[in-house]
Structure 1
Amino acid sequence: MRYGEATVTVVDPRSYMTYQPFLPETAAGSISPRHVVVPLRRVLPRAEVLTGRVTTIDQDRKVATVAPLVGEAYELPFDYLVIALGAVSRTFPIPGLAEQGIGMKGVEEAIGLRNHVLEQLDKADSTTDEEVRRKALTFVFVGGGFAGAETVGEVEDMARDAAKYYTNVSREDMRFILVDVADKILPEVGPKLGQYGKEHLESRGVEVYLKTGMDSCVDGRVVLNNGLEVDSHTIVWTAGVKPNPALARYGLPLGPRGHVDTAATLQVQGTDYIWAAGDNAQVPDMAARKAGVENAWCPPNAQHALRQARLLGDNVVSAMRGFPQREYSHANKGAVAGLGLHKGVAMVVVGKTKIRLRGRLAWYMHRGYHGLAMPTWNRKIRVFADWTLGMFLKREVVSLGAIETPREEFYEAAKPAPAPAVPKEAEVTAASGGEKAKAS
């Protein structure tokens, strides 16, 4: 846009954007957590960034109600509106999941998972209770898509390295379990590479159970519907995503799964001033439809979201200036996944040919693709620097679990000392003296 042509306001409950494909490597310590997030105010210097949540949208008045982190909610008028809330973890009413589960949608969860796993090794190394050790060293991952397979691969790698520094813990003492209700893992890269990924994880000692779901996990007692029951302190939930439930409050047309229903131009159906893109949008896959696939929709992945965002920006400016909208069309270029250090799978589409790679070369492609896709050169350089240092320096195995309660130790030092206990005999004597003084 030209200078002064419009004011762009971004409303988000977080002041940063997270590059989610790097969360598994963040959980394994291969990338610093600060390097997978991008501060919005720094990379959007010409935009107004408000930290808060949009609670309601009045389309007739063109006003959004914003609830800030502190203070009263207020109304924010707009001429054009972009809905890009992304997705949240898709969960089910499984007993114990809310209390025991660990998600993998944010950098906070990746940091928490890393600290939690290393803390379990600390527990197991310092106790002689076999039941406590068994529960601490059993790790359950639910979901075999990109997030689940990559996370179990990276965390198993980290735990294997960390075990070298523990006297009473070895890799043989640990138990890694991957569960998925589907009949294969990594469906995005195709059945052949998915089968390779499964066999590779199993060769590293990961138990993979397909066509299997979790019935409950109350108090860490994991009950699978194939009859297996295990005790675990670590239950990682990566069983897919769903659109942000806040969309239901905005009065927008939604698809059958809760996505905002958009045209191929990314405009919300029935409007000419609202657009949507990314994981919260139901966007027609025009490339697949042209190839003869009916009712095809763009999958919720970064490959589509990044390209949709560029077209959406162009279409908003076109609408402001009275030009026609362009339709979004993108043919799948393939998929890459990392399964730990020097291990990965990749499916690359060249024309009508699919090239399948696995092992170290696929891992290089995974890192190269996502490293270049990382927003801003600042973060690109920092991520590649982390990887370069990792080639020469040993992996960090420090658990900073106390970061979740940073004030606890200070509180213990600063809280008032309890009043000294008064002997019962002194209480009786004091009471008797008081009665005498009152009588006199």
Structure 2
Amino acid sequence: MPEPRIVIIGGGHVGLTLALRLQRMLRPGEARVTVIDTQPHMTYQPFLPEAAAGSLEPRHVVVPLREALRKCEVLTAQVSAIDHADRQLTATLGDGRVVHCGYDILVAVPGSISRALPIPGLAEQGVGFKTIGEAIFLRNHVLSRLDIAASTTDEKLRRRLLTFVFVGGGYAGIEAMAELESMSRYAIRSYPQVASRDMRWVLVEAMGRIMPEVSPPMSEYTKQRLTERGIEVKLNTTAKSFMDGHVMLSDGDVFDADTVVWTAGVRPHPMLEDSDLPRDSKGRVECTAKLQVRGIHNVFSAGDSAAVPDLTSSDPDALCSPSAQHAVRQAKVLADNILALLRGEKLGNYKHKYAGAVAGLGLFQGAAEVYGVKLKGFPAWLLHRCYHLAKMPTASHKARILGDWLLELPFRRQVVALGELHDPRAEFVKAANTRGLPKSHGRAV
């Protein structure tokens, strides 16, 4: 009898944690595991702000799937459809070939993508903050704005270059903005032409407070810390337009900005739209407390793409929030339940009371609320680092991250823009197309 095949769609936090646990706990010949993702690595998103700010080497916050999952089959492909009636999915490989993959047990954990709104100019001017590529781009982009601003004599252009807008006051937006602002304040030490007061950082949030994951007092504390650093926090405000870098906000404020970062929420991966799995009004896969897709015993889901009942809430309709905290714990229960299904044992429920949250607000600054205990400043920042270091998959990546942090103690931050990373062929193409141009007679500077 052939081995049952477990197919995991998604190599993110849930998918990698699940596969690691399965490859460790499966008996020889009990089942084979296939992981399918469009990227050959998992990105640990809580460390993206530090990667963008230069505190961490970008390669150290991603885990290569093939390196970590040596006992699993890893396919770099895009799943385009799920047909559970035939227990088959359709995927497009890197070379363009379309293949059909059968399964005995399916785990749909493709994660989420940025939830963009139809705001004029957003698609042309904005950038998200969910991938390592976006983090590296933002670091290079922000530092290059300082470079250009330091050399221009055009005051209007200078104001535009030094204006940075972040839309979304959740954890992603707060941490990304705080880390990049901290990095920029450090970087201008090397730019005598630029002062901290020349930069304008604007946080736009549609709700009446930032960081809804924590209590109102901790939210207000975080807002005060950001305001003390000169960051404008605009609550109950929405963006109306970003056309040509001209920012229009609902509070009437109008200005130009060369940097627009969109962190205003996420939505389930659109791949789920081409499946026959039951989904709720928000597009998430409907699950039971056992993480099984509702009405289907051999299909599971978890993480951002799943609507999982919150058994710790008094509200019978409450669902688990889309957070890394739930994702890693759901992955462990998911692995145990898949093993139980294979072995004919009883499946367990996922039940975890939300412990709280920790956030880094730049070097040596943070805010945390864990099981009702509030921490501020350096203790919260230290807890933020320790918690996420412990949750980072694989010992080698933990060691590399710790090494990056220790190197920060005796040495200065490296703050240099490497813009050519985004178009590495530009200089070669320019040289190849140059044919006997006359020597320049421009003025020396």
Q: State if a TM-score over 0.5 links the two structures.
A: yes
1:39 is the counterpart of 2:64: yes
Separation in structure 2 between the aligned mates of residue 8 and residue 417 of structure 1, nearest angstrom: 56
- SS of the aligned residue for 2:312 comes to helix
Summarize the Cα distance change of 1:357–1:416 in structure 2 as closer, same or farther, 3 Å threshold. closer
Counterpart Cα distance in 2 of 1:187 and 1:102: 23
- Between the aligned partners of 1:223 and 1:71, the Cα distance in structure 2 is 42
User: What amino acid sits opposite 1:357 in the alignment?
Assistant: L
Using the TM superposition, give the Cα deviation of residue 167 of structure 1 relative to its aligned residue in structure 2, in angstroms: 2.4
Identity of aligned residues (%): 49
Instruction: Deviation per CA, 1:375-432: give whole Å up to 9, x if none.
Output: 1111111111111111221111110011000011112223474899xxxxxxxxxxxx
| 1:378 matched to 2:396 | yes
In 1, the alpha carbon distance for the partners of 2:88 and 2:48 equals: 35
State whether structure 2 residue 338 is matched by structure 1 residue 309. no
Please show how residues 124-139 of structure 1 align to structure 2 within 5 Å: 124-139=149-164
Counterpart contact for 2:107–2:299, Cα < 8 Å: yes
1:17-72 Cα distance to aligned partner (Å, 9 max, x none): 00000111111111110010000001000000000111111212211111011132
User: What's the CA shift string for 1:138-171, capped at 9, x where partnerless?
Assistant: 0001111101111111111001011110121111
What is the rounded CA distance, in whole Å, between the counterparts of 2:237 and 2:95 in structure 1?
Answer: 44
Relative to structure 2, which stretch is displaced further, 390-399 or 42-51? Answer: 390-399
The one-letter amino acid of 1:272's match is H
Letter in 2 for 1:90: R
What is the distance in 1 between the residues matched to 2:260 and 2:168?
11
Aligned length: 413
CA distance in 2, matches of 1:415, 1:136: 30
Aligned to 2:358: 336
User: Which residue of 2 is the match for residue 251 of structure 1?
Assistant: 276
TM (normalized to structure 2)?
Answer: 0.91
Q: Is the 8 A contact 1:189 1:336 kept in 2?
A: no
8 Å CA contact 2:166, 2:203 repeated in 1: yes
Name the structure 1 match of 2:242.
217
User: Separation in 2 of the partners of 1:60 and 1:81?
Assistant: 12
Matched, 1:401 2:401: no
Q: C-alpha separation between the residues in 2 aligned to 1:57 and 1:253? A: 12
Q: Using the alignment, how far apart are the partners of 1:209 and 1:23 within structure 2?
A: 24
The match for 1:348 among 370, 379, 382 is 370
Matched residue, 1:299: 321
Equivalences for residues 14-413 of structure 1 within 5 A: 14-288=39-313, 292-349=314-371, 354-413=372-431
Q: 3-state DSSP class of the match of 2:36?
A: strand
Letter of the structure 1 residue corresponding to residue 351 of structure 2: S
**TM-score for both structures, normalised by structure 1:** 0.92
How big is each residue's C-alpha offset from its partner over 1:251-271, in whole Å with a ceiling of 9 and x where there is no partner?
110011110000000000110
User: Matches of 2:247 and 2:52 in 1, distance apart?
Assistant: 22
Structure 1 or 2, whichever has the larger Rg, is: 1
Contact 2:163 2:200 in 1 (8 A): yes
In 1, Cα distance between equivalents of 2:310 and 2:222: 28
- Aligned-pair CA distance for 1:98: 0.6
* Separation of aligned partners in 2, 1:260 and 1:238: 23
Change (3 A) 1:416 1:178: closer
Q: Is the 8 A contact 1:17 1:40 kept in 2?
A: yes
- What do residues 153-209 of structure 1 show as CA deviations (whole Å, max 9, x unaligned)? 111100101111012111111000011001111111211111000010000000110
80-89 or 321-330: bigger deviation: 321-330
The question of whether the paired residues in 2 share the 8 Å contact of 1:87 and 1:279 is answered with yes
The DSSP-based 3-state class of the residue aligned with 1:286 is: coil
| Distance in 2 of aligned mates of 1:373 and 1:134 | 40
> Aligned to 1:392, what secondary structure does the other structure show?
coil
Residues 240 and 250 in structure 2, CA contact (< 8 A), matched pair in contact too: yes
Question: 2:259 is aligned with what amino acid?
Answer: T
* Amino acid corresponding to residue 45 of structure 2 in structure 1: Q
User: 1-side partners of 2:436 and 2:352: how far apart?
Assistant: 68
Task: Spell out, residue by residue over 1:225-277, the C-alpha distance to the aligned partner (whole angstroms, 9 max, x if none).
Answer: 00001100000111111111111111110011110000000000110110001
Gaps of 5+ in 1: 421-440
1:419-430 to structure 2, matched below 5 A, reads none
SS in structure 1 opposite 2:35?
strand
SS in 2 for 1:398: coil
One-letter identity of the residue aligned with 2:53: A
Question: Unpaired runs of 5+ in structure 2?
Answer: 1-25, 439-445
Cα distance in 2, alignment partners of residues 222 and 141 from structure 1: 11
* Runs ≥4 residues deviating over 4 A: none
Matched residue type, 2:326: H
**1 CA distance for matches of 2:134 and 2:437?**
41
2-side partners of 1:328 and 1:293: how far apart? 16
Tell me, in whole angstroms, the C-alpha distance in 2 between the residues paired with 1:183 and 1:247: 32
Asked if the contact 1:102–1:109 (Cα under 8 Å) also holds between the matched residues in 2, the reply is yes
Which moved further from structure 2: 106-115 or 4-13?
4-13
Separation in 2 of the partners of 1:386 and 1:299? Answer: 31
Q: Secondary structure at the match of 1:76?
A: strand
Q: Secondary structure at the match of 1:389?
A: helix
Give the aligned residue type for 2:57. Answer: S
Counterpart-to-counterpart distance in 2, 1:306 and 1:44: 17
Aligned to 2:20: none
